[in-house]
Amino acid sequence: MATLESYYSDLLKWEGQSPRTMIDPWPADLRAMIEVDTGEAVTTSCIKANPCPIRQNSTNQSVGNQVESFAVAILAPHLKMFRPAPCPGNGYPDKMLENSATNALIPLEMKATARWDSSDSNRRVLTSSTAALRTVFQAPIHHLLLAIIFVTIQVKKAKKTLVLWKL
């Protein structure tokens, strides 16, 4: 099975770029800091008590994008150690997570879905170019996937679709 490291190595060759490290191992303390900060933001933001309204006739992709935007807007003000921001350029990653203490940038890809299948390898292929990684991020590069898993309900009287969180 190919690794993300070998994928990036092949992709750099295909793009005509010099070899370089595009992914680094996660330090346990950094992972723990993100988990704690995000967990506290989920609690203090009361996001679980705030259903996300969904526009009528939204496609599955649009629902995911709406959920992602809603979650970032609710959680970001409650993060103490990290700050999510849009990533410049097109393609992967859509966002970056900035460490407030060190200003280090982490590529952040968010996926919001009601049907996450951890055995589906197609869900793990997130990138098609190294351009943003080469221009925005400095080594060590730690890639972060934040999965937001939700359920949808139809509110017939109000003619709305709401997202309830499974965080």
For residue 117, is it within any domain? yes
Asked if 20 contacts 10 with a C-beta cutoff of 8 angstroms, the reply is: no
pLDDT score, position 34:
95
Residue 134, in any domain of the structure: yes
Confidence of residue 58 (pLDDT cuts 50, 70, 90): confident
Question: How many whole angstroms separate alpha carbon 56 and alpha carbon 106?
Answer: 34
The pTM (predicted TM-score) of the whole model is 0.82
Residue 103 placed within a domain: yes
The answer to whether residue 71 is domain-embedded is: yes
Model confidence over 68-102: pLDDT tens digits?
999 999 999 999 999 999 998 877 888 999 999 99
pLDDT tier for residue 156 given thresholds of 50, 70 and 90: low
Structural domain tally of the chain?
Answer: 1
The predicted-structure confidence for 140-154, as pLDDT tens digits, reads as follows 999 998 888 887 777
> At residue 69, what are phi and psi to the nearest 5 degrees?
-60, -45
Three-point CA angle 85, 23, 8, nearest 5°: 105
Q: Which domain holds residue 45?
A: 26-165
